[in-house]
Structure 1
Amino acid sequence: MHFSEYDTRLAGYAVIVNDDDEILLSWFNGGRDRAHAIWTLPGGGIEFFETIEEGTIREIKEETGYDAQLLRPLTTHSFTDSRRNPAFGESTDRPFKGVRVVYEARITGGTLGTLEVDGTTDRAEWLAIDSLADTHHARIIDVGLDALRGSRR
């Protein structure tokens, strides 16, 4: 399929792990479909005039309250859906492709607490990485952690 025949959403996400082996996550409230609420990495859609780095840093701040520095790109991840934009539950007549760039990042300032108003993030928390097996979470967290672990070998 030619790129002009489907919609694309570019997003940037961050894996931020502290010294206590906890990962910073944001609670995606499901947008228009609250049944799809789930823990995810801080990040989201990149605005048209932003670089991926600028947009990722902005999203981290909005969703977690923290200022962050991107250390390095870890991986990219993409997925397709034939009938809707899964990020917001929007139905469309065009196929959809999500393209996500995942960075390793660190906190440089700020205070924990989402700054979004009427957005798709309700809160942010540090969760023990070991607890993720028993926690309802988005696949992008596993993708990011796998890439982080692989880069440290």
Structure 2
Amino acid sequence: MDIRIAAYAVIIHDGEILLSHWNEHGRSAWTLPGGGVEGEEHPATTVVREVREETGFDAAVDRLLGIDTMIVPAGKRLHGTAPLYGMRVVYRAHVTGGVLRNEVGGSSDEARWFPLEALGSLKTVSLVDVALQLNAEEPADGVPSPLWPQARELR
């Protein structure tokens, strides 16, 4: 089994959430800005770097919200031949500077603010639901409570 650790930011300002459009190998959906830990990088460093790369904004971490895990079966992976254990570290963060722009040459192709009430009409990855639940509940152990089954899949 392969392992991937990634860090993501929940950034909400004036009733809007900052999302990044993931677009890779014919699959696409809106997700939180974030991505994989590189080398010896700490996830808190990763999330700040990834927000900058994917959105153009500088960000600061406010707090750790929790950690979500998932298994991607080998047959559903875009890369690799073994199952993937994914660990997704979710932080609440805020923008400290920069200018909104789209990532070039990465797995995302657009960044945009969306009103929170518009999320239901967007195609999002399950991480968005998990992260918003963590943001609302702030569980002491950082473990998200179970979501309804359809929320765990790509909408």
- Taking structure 1 as the reference length, the TM-score comes to 0.86
Q: Given the alignment, which residue of 41, 62, 66 partners 2:32?
A: 41
CA root-mean-square deviation: 1.5
- 1:15 aligns with 10
- 1:96 aligns with 84
Secondary structure of the residue aligned to 2:93 is strand
- 1:118 aligns with 105
How far does residue 84 in structure 1 lie from its aligned partner after superposition? 5.0
How far does residue 96 in structure 1 lie from its aligned partner after superposition? 1.1
Amino acid at match of 2:108: T
How far does residue 127 in structure 1 lie from its aligned partner after superposition? 0.5
Q: Where has structure 1 moved over 3 Å in runs of 4 or more?
A: none
Secondary structure of the residue aligned to 1:101 is strand
Q: Given the alignment, which residue of 11, 21, 26 partners 2:20?
A: 26
Aligned-pair identity in percent equals 40
Does residue 131 of structure 2 align to residue 144 of structure 1? yes
Amino acid at match of 1:56: V
Gapped runs of 5+ residues in structure 1? 1-5
Distance change in 2, residues 1:97/1:84 (3 Å): farther
- CA–CA distance in structure 2, aligned partners of residues 50 and 67 of structure 1: 17
- CA–CA distance in structure 1, aligned partners of residues 91 and 47 of structure 2: 9
- CA–CA distance in structure 2, aligned partners of residues 84 and 102 of structure 1: 26
Gapped runs of 5+ residues in structure 2? 140-155
- CA–CA distance in structure 2, aligned partners of residues 50 and 85 of structure 1: 27
Which is worse superposed, 64-73 or 48-57?
Answer: 48-57
- Taking structure 2 as the reference length, the TM-score comes to 0.85
Residue pair 1:85, 1:96 contacting (<8 A) in 2 also: no
Secondary structure of the residue aligned to 1:48 is coil
Q: Given the alignment, which residue of 79, 97, 109 partners 2:97?
A: 109
Amino acid at match of 1:118: G
Secondary structure of the residue aligned to 2:89 is strand
Residue pair 1:78, 1:99 contacting (<8 A) in 2 also: yes
Please list the CA deviations of residues 13-46 of structure 1 after superposition, one character each: whole Å capped at 9, or x if unmatched.
0000002x110000001x2x22x10000000001
- CA–CA distance in structure 2, aligned partners of residues 64 and 128 of structure 1: 17
- CA–CA distance in structure 2, aligned partners of residues 44 and 79 of structure 1: 15
